[in-house]
Structure 1
Amino acid sequence: MPSVQAQTTQVPSLLAEHDVYLFREGTHCRLYEKLGAHFATVDGVAGVQFAVWAPNAARVSVIGDFNGWAKDAHPCVPRTDHSGIWECFIPGVQQGDVYKFHIQSRHQGYAVDKADPFAIYAELPPRTGSRVWALDYAWGDQDWMARRRSANALDAPISVYEVHLGSWRRVPEEGQRFLSYREIAPLLAEHVQALGFTHVELLPIMEHPFYGSWGYQTTGYFAPTSRYGTPQDFMYLVDYLHQAGIGVILDWVPSHFPTDAHGLAFFDGTHLFEHADPRQGFHPEWNSAIFNYGRNEVRAFLLSSALFWLEHYHIDGLRVDAVASMLYLDYARPEGGWIPNHYGGRENLDAIEFLRQLNTAAYRDHPDIQTYAEESTAWPMVSRPVSMGGLGFGLKWNMGWMHDTLRYLQHDPLYRRHHHGQISFSIWYAFSENFILPLSHDEVVHGKGALIGKMPGDEWQQFANLRVLYGFMWAHPGKKLLFMGGEFGQRREWQHEESLEWHVLQYPLHACVQRWVSDLNRCQRAQPALHAQDFVPEGFAWVDFHDWEASVLSFLRRGPEGQDAEQDVVLIVCNFTPVPRAHYRIGVPQAGYWQELLNSDATAYGGSGMGNGGGAHTEAVPAHGYAQSLSLLLPPLSVLYLKPASG
C-alpha cells in the first residue's frame, strides 16, 4: 500500500485557491461542489474524489463497502494551505457505495467514524453511513420556474399546506409503511389542488437519525431522508408539485443539531461546528448542539446547505426554524447560564450577521424565492431588507396572532365579550412585518389536542367555531399556513407514527370543513382585496372593532388603487357568538348591492343555513362614519364576506 506521503503529490483536488479563500472567509455558498464525494476521472481512471474539513485531525481515511471498512486502506492527504481540508481519490468507487470518514484526532487519542457532512444521500436509518451518489435528473418544471416569481411574490395569494411526509398518508395493508416520494407525489398534488392551496411546506426532510424529531434534529444538511426514497425520488416529488402549479417550501434547521456520534458534533476531536462552552454551544431545551456562527467555515457550510436546496432541488422557499433561539444568547437559559456579547448584551451578534448573510445570498442568487422566519419574539425588522438594518427575511410567522386568536376562541362564547381585545389586537402590529399566519404542527402536539378539540361547545358549535377561525384567518392581513389534518377537522392530536384520520371525511361535518377551506382559498385567489395588500395599512380598514358586547368584528379589505378600486373591496363581518343577530347595521363605503361571497353558516359548510339571501342593498342610513349602511342578518358563530356588485 502506498504511504500517505507517496500519495500526496498524486491527489487531485476540486478546490481552487479561490475556493479555499472564500471558505476561510465564510462566504463560499457552493461548498457542496467541492467537499464531500464527487465522481471524477484521474489519468483516465474513473473513481470518486473525497474531501472533508477536519483541521484538528492527525489522520483521516475513507472507509466503506469498497475497502471492507479498513481504516488504513485509503488514507486522505491534508492540503498544504492550512485550510484543514483532507482529500483523496479512490478508483473504482460506484454509485450507491456506502462510506464514512475515519478521523483520528490530535487531541486525547480521540478516533471516530463520521458520516460525510456534505453527503447528498445516506443509508436508511438506523444505519448512518453516507452513500456515493450523483444528482442527475431531467426536470420537467420549466414553466413553473419561469413564472414562480409571481407565485412567490408578496402580493400573491399565498396559502400554505404544511405536511409531515411520513404521517400524511400511509399504507395500512402493509404494516402502516411510509409512502415513497414518488407514491405521495400524485396524491399530495391532487389533494392540494382540490383544496386550492398555493404551496406545500414540508417539515424537515433533511436526513435525521431520530424519526420522532420530525426532522428537526438534522444530521444530513445536504441529503433528503432515505426513508422515502432516493434524491431523484425527492426531485420527482418537487417536480410533480411544480408541474401541478404548487410551490414547495422546505423547513430548514440551522439553529441546532443532534449530538449523535456519526454527526457533526465533536467532529475532529474538537468542537468544530459547535461552541465548546456549553453556555453557548449546548441547547438545554432540545438536548442538542448549537452552531458556532462566529466561525467562518461553519457559516460557509450553512450557506452552502441553503443554496443547495434552492439550486439542486428547485425549492421555492426556506422556512428557517427557531430563529429566536439563534438571536438571543439567553434563550431558554437561566440567569448566569449564558455568556453576554462583547457589548454586554443578550443579542447573538454572530447569528444576526449569519442570518443577514443567508438572506442576502439567497435573494441575490434566487430573487424569485422567499425565506420565512419562525421568530416568536418582538425582534424588530425581521422581514425588512438587510440594507435597511433588517434581517432580510421575506416573511415572518405571526406567532402573536396565532396565540391570541386560539386563546380567544377557546373561551366559551358567553365570556368572549370580556376578551374582545384578544381578537382585535393583532391588527395594531399587522403591518410591522410581512406576516404569515400559522396554524402549524406545533399547535396540535404534546397534549395540546387537535384544533377542533380546542373549540368550545357541542359538536355543531365546535365545527362552527372552527369555520369562524378559518374565516377570520383568511380575511386577516397576512399569508396563510395550515397544518395537515386541520383542513377537515381531524379529531385526534397529530401522531407522527400514524396516518391522518382520512376516514372522518365520510362524516358530513368534516367534509363540510374541507369544502369551507377549499372555498376560502379560491375566494382568496379570486379577490385581490384579500391578498394584494397584505403588508400595507392601505389594504385594511376597521368598520367596527368596538362591539365587544355582541362579540362582533367588522372590517374591510381593499385591493390596490386602480380602475376597479371601488369594486375591489371585501367586507368581513364575524359573529363570535351562537346568537343570530338580525338587522345588524354595518356602515359601508359605497351605495348599491353587496353580494355575499362566503357565508360560513351555509348548509354546504355544515351550518344552519341562515343568511341574507345572497346579499343586501344599502340604505341611506349613516353608520360607522359612512353615509350608507347594510342591515344584515348575522348567523350564529359565523363569518360573512360581502363585496359590491359590479355594474
Structure 2
Amino acid sequence: MSSVNLEILKIDPYLKSYTSAIEWQVKRFNMKKKALLKNKKGLSDFADGYLYFGFHKKADGWVYREWAPNAQSVFLIGDFNGWDRTATPLKPLGSGNWEVFLPGEKSLTHGSRVKVHIKTEGRSFDRVPLYCKRVVQDKNTFAFDGQVWNPAQPYRWREKTFHPDQSVPPLIYEAHIGIAGEAPEVSTFNEFTQNILPHIAGLGYNAIQLMAIMEHPYYASFGYQVSNFFAVSSRFGTPEDLKALIDTAHRLGIAVILDLVHSHASRNVLDGIGEFDGTDYQFFHAGLEGDHPAWGSKVFNYDKPEVLHFLLSNIKFWLDEYHFDGFRFDGVTSMLYHNHGLGINFDSYDQYFSPNTDMAGLTYLQMASSLAKEIKPDCFLIAEDMSGFPGMALPVSLGGLGFDYRLGMGLPDFWIHTLRDVNDEDWDLKTLWHELTQRRPGEKVIGYAESHDQAIVGDKTIMFWLAGQDMYNDMNVFNQNPVIERAMALHKMIRLITCTCAGEGYMNFMGNEFGHPEWIDFPREDNGWSYQYARRQWHLAEDTNLRYRYLQDFDSAMIHFARDTKLLEYPSELLLIDTWAKLLLYSKGPYLFAFNFHPTRDFNGFIPLPGNSGYQPVLNTESHHFGGWIDTEPAPIASKSDCPGMLTTLYIPKRSAVVYSSVC
C-alpha cells in the first residue's frame, strides 16, 4: 500500500498507470520541504528572506545584508558616501552572506540612492541590491539605482482584515496600470485608484488581476521581464500608492491578485539579478541550460535551496507587505518541463510523466502553493499552464500541485480560430461545447474569451476580428452596417456563453468589456516610441452616440447576474445541440440558456425542456438596452404541472441568446 495520499488517482482514474510517478512527486515534495525547514515550524518561517536581507532600520542605525556567494569583497555605495567604492565594506558572515552596520539614524535616509559594489577574482562591478523595495532610473544616464525606502509615515491600512468572498466565484478584471489611462502616457497607481477602480466595481467584478507590478526595465515586456523581484515598478508610483490602491479595492469588496513571474527573469545584469555575484549560476542554471530559448530570459534553478528561499520569500513578501489576495502564476508550463513545453501538443498522459518533466520546477510549484495557503488560506492561486498538467488545481495533500484554478487557455485560441477561419454557417457547436466544458476531473478553471494576449499588436481582440475596419466609421448609433450588427451580436453571445460555461470563474481584460478597438502596442523604437496604442479609450463607452456603451452595459448585466446568482457554482447540463439550426440549449441550476448562432434563420419550434416549471426571461442579448433590435422581451415559458418534462414552443431570433429563470 502506498505510504502517501494518492486521492488524485480516485479523482482521475486515467492516472493509475502513473502511480509510481505521482507517488514520487509527493515524496519528493515532502523530502524537500523537510530539508528546507530543518527546525522551523512551517514554510512561512523559512520564507523570511526579505526580513533578513536588504536594508533594515534599527534604533541606533541601519543594517544591510546581502547574498553574494562568489564575491571576495562587497561594498555598499551610494549618495550617502559619495559613491565611494571602498568606504563602506561588508563583512562576510559565511554561506555567501554579507553584512554591514551603519551607525546613526541619518546614515541612510528615506530616498537615498544605493548600489552594491562587488569584487571577485579579476573583476569588480556595481549591482542593484537584491532585496531593494524600490528601484529608480536616472533620467540623464538611464542607469538604475536602488533606493532606500523608509517613509516617515508608513502607510496605515484602513481595511486591515479583508478576506475574499469565497462564496462567490471569482469574476476577474485583468488590468495593466500603465495603459489604464486615456492620455498617451504612462498612467499611475493613483489614477487607477481614482478612475478605474470605481469603473470595475460598477461593472460588478469582484477581483482584479494586476499585471507588470514587479519592477521591469523594458516597458514593452508587459511586465514579464522582471529585474527586481521585491520592488514595485517605479514608473507607476510609490509603494504607498500601490498599497492605497489595494486598500481602496478591498473597501470596494474587490480582491487583488498579483500576476507573479517566477518562471524566468530578465537577463539584465546592471539592473537585475543576472550575474549578481559574477556568476551565471547564482540563481539560474549554468550555461545554455539557464537561457530560455523562446523568451530571451534566464531560467531559475529550482533545486537550489537559496533560490527557493529567494522565491518563496518573494511570495510571502507580496502577501504580507502589500496585502495581495493571491497570485496568477505566469509561465507555469515553462517551469514544468526541461524543454519548457515548446513544440509539444500534450495529447498523451505519457508526456506529463517523462524525463522531460522538470521535477525541481514541479516541487517548487507545490512549495509555492503550500506557502501561500499557509500564510493566507483564502487566497486565490491561478496557474497559467498550457500543457494541462494533471492535478494542477488539486491540493498538494491529494497528490496535486495545490492551485485553486487553472486558466482555460484553449478556449481563446478556439474563438480566434473560429472567427478567422470558419464561416458563420459552418460553426461546429459540438466542438464549441467540448471546448467550453472540458475539465480535468475535480479541477476548477478560470474561463475567458480573450485576455491581454489577444490584445497585443500582431493579434486582434474579438471585436476587431468581428468588425475590422468598419469599427472606425460605423460604430455610431445612426448607421446601419451589417458587419457591425453581426459584431455586436456575436460579441455579446461569445461573452455570455464563455462566462457561464467555460469555468468556475471568469476573466476579462481591461476595456474588452466594451469592445475596445485596435490593439496594444507599447512605445518602442519601431513605432517611434509612441503611446498612441498604449492606453484605453474610455470615452468611447461613455459616448451615447456610439455603440460601445451597449457592449459595456451588457457585460455589466452579465457579470452582476453571474455574481448575484452564484451561477458558476452550478454545473452546465447540455439539453440540446442542433447543428443545422445552430441551436444550443443548456441549464445551470434553475437557469435555462438558449442560443441561436445561425446567421440568417430565426428558430420558432418545439423544444423539450426538463422539469415542469415555467421560465421567466431575465437576460436577452438582443434587448434594445444592449443595442439589440428587439423592443419586446421574450415571452415567459408557461409551466405544465401534469408532466415530468415540457415540450414547448420557443422563439429564438438569429444571432441571439436568452437566459431564463425557473419560476419555482
Q: TM-score, normalised by structure 1?
A: 0.85
Secondary structure, counterpart of 2:506 in structure 1: strand
Tell me the equivalent position of 2:173: 161
Q: Are 2:238 and 1:230 aligned?
A: yes
**Cα displacement (A) at 1:270:** 1.3
Between the aligned partners of 1:267 and 1:589, the Cα distance in structure 2 is 65
**Cα displacement (A) at 1:621:** 11
**Cα displacement (A) at 1:589:** 2.4
Tell me the equivalent position of 1:514: 552
Pick the aligned partner of 1:199 from 207, 214, 235: 207
Q: Are 2:504 and 1:478 aligned?
A: yes
Between the aligned partners of 1:461 and 1:220, the Cα distance in structure 2 is 46
Tell me the equivalent position of 1:11: none
Q: Are 2:324 and 1:315 aligned?
A: yes
Between the aligned partners of 2:267 and 2:286, the Cα distance in structure 1 is 15
Q: Which amino acid aligns with 2:408?
A: N
CA contact (8 A) 2:410 2:435 kept: no
- 1:601-640 alignment, distance < 5 Å: 601-609=622-630, 613-618=634-639, 627-640=645-658
Q: Are 2:619 and 1:598 aligned?
A: yes
Q: Are 2:599 and 1:578 aligned?
A: yes
- 1:321-336 alignment, distance < 5 Å: 321-331=330-340
Tell me the equivalent position of 1:3: none
**Cα displacement (A) at 1:279:** 4.0
- 1:72-471 alignment, distance < 5 Å: 72-79=86-93, 82-91=94-103, 92-106=107-121, 109-124=122-137, 126-134=142-150, 136-142=154-160, 145-146=161-162, 148-149=163-164, 151=165, 153=166, 155-170=167-182, 172=183, 176-262=184-270, 263-331=272-340, 345-410=355-420, 413-418=423-428, 420-429=430-439, 431-438=441-448, 439-455=450-466, 458-471=483-496
Secondary structure, counterpart of 1:574 in structure 2: strand
CA deviation profile, 1:541-585 (whole Å, cap 9, x unmatched): 11013x111222111112xxxxxxxxxx11111211223423243
Between the aligned partners of 1:273 and 1:629, the Cα distance in structure 2 is 69
Secondary structure, counterpart of 1:237 in structure 2: helix
Between the aligned partners of 2:289 and 2:343, the Cα distance in structure 1 is 13
Change (3 A) 1:641 1:195: same
CA contact (8 A) 2:213 2:223 kept: yes
Pick the aligned partner of 2:569 from 532, 539, 543: 532
Between the aligned partners of 2:46 and 2:389, the Cα distance in structure 1 is 28
CA contact (8 A) 2:69 2:96 kept: yes
Between the aligned partners of 1:630 and 1:413, the Cα distance in structure 2 is 31
Change (3 A) 1:275 1:313: closer
Unaligned runs of 5+ in 1: 1-17, 336-340, 534-538, 559-568
Change (3 A) 1:334 1:280: farther
Q: Which amino acid aligns with 2:178?
A: G
CA contact (8 A) 1:273 1:291 kept: no
**Cα displacement (A) at 1:183:** 2.6
Between the aligned partners of 1:288 and 1:430, the Cα distance in structure 2 is 31
Give the % identical residues.
28
Between the aligned partners of 1:140 and 1:27, the Cα distance in structure 2 is 27
**Cα displacement (A) at 1:28:** 2.1
Tell me the equivalent position of 1:541: 573
Change (3 A) 1:630 1:311: farther
CA RMSD of superposed structures (Å)? 2.6
CA deviation profile, 1:101-122 (whole Å, cap 9, x unmatched): 111123xx23221111111111
CA contact (8 A) 1:504 1:510 kept: yes
Moved more, 576-585 or 84-93: 576-585
Q: Which amino acid aligns with 1:468?
A: M
**Cα displacement (A) at 1:332:** 5.8
**Cα displacement (A) at 1:443:** 1.0
CA contact (8 A) 1:543 1:554 kept: yes
**Cα displacement (A) at 1:610:** 6.6
CA contact (8 A) 1:591 1:619 kept: yes
**Cα displacement (A) at 1:419:** 6.2
CA deviation profile, 1:335-383 (whole Å, cap 9, x unmatched): 9xxxxx9x97000110111110011111011102111101111210100
Q: Which amino acid aligns with 1:472?
A: I
Q: Which amino acid aligns with 1:132?
A: V
**Cα displacement (A) at 1:409:** 4.2
**Cα displacement (A) at 1:615:** 2.2
Change (3 A) 1:241 1:381: same
Between the aligned partners of 2:331 and 2:521, the Cα distance in structure 1 is 22
Change (3 A) 1:133 1:21: farther
**Cα displacement (A) at 1:414:** 3.7
CA contact (8 A) 1:359 1:392 kept: yes
CA contact (8 A) 1:618 1:629 kept: no
Between the aligned partners of 1:557 and 1:407, the Cα distance in structure 2 is 27
Between the aligned partners of 1:401 and 1:388, the Cα distance in structure 2 is 27
Moved more, 85-94 or 123-132: 123-132
Change (3 A) 1:19 1:130: farther
CA contact (8 A) 2:228 2:273 kept: no
Between the aligned partners of 2:39 and 2:288, the Cα distance in structure 1 is 31
Secondary structure, counterpart of 1:449 in structure 2: coil
Q: Which amino acid aligns with 2:133?
A: I
CA contact (8 A) 2:333 2:341 kept: no
Secondary structure, counterpart of 1:189 in structure 2: helix
Secondary structure, counterpart of 1:480 in structure 2: strand
Q: Are 2:86 and 1:60 aligned?
A: no
Q: Which amino acid aligns with 1:532?
A: E
CA deviation profile, 1:32-73 (whole Å, cap 9, x unmatched): 0100111123xxx3x321101001100100010111111101
**Cα displacement (A) at 1:509:** 1.7
CA contact (8 A) 2:614 2:640 kept: no
CA contact (8 A) 1:124 1:227 kept: no
Change (3 A) 1:618 1:407: farther
Change (3 A) 1:426 1:613: closer
Change (3 A) 1:601 1:367: same
Q: Which amino acid aligns with 1:214?
A: F
Moved more, 421-430 or 193-202: 421-430
Secondary structure, counterpart of 2:294 in structure 1: coil
Change (3 A) 1:487 1:344: closer
Between the aligned partners of 1:124 and 1:183, the Cα distance in structure 2 is 21
Q: Which amino acid aligns with 1:386?
A: V
Change (3 A) 1:260 1:590: same
Change (3 A) 1:409 1:575: farther
CA contact (8 A) 2:573 2:587 kept: yes
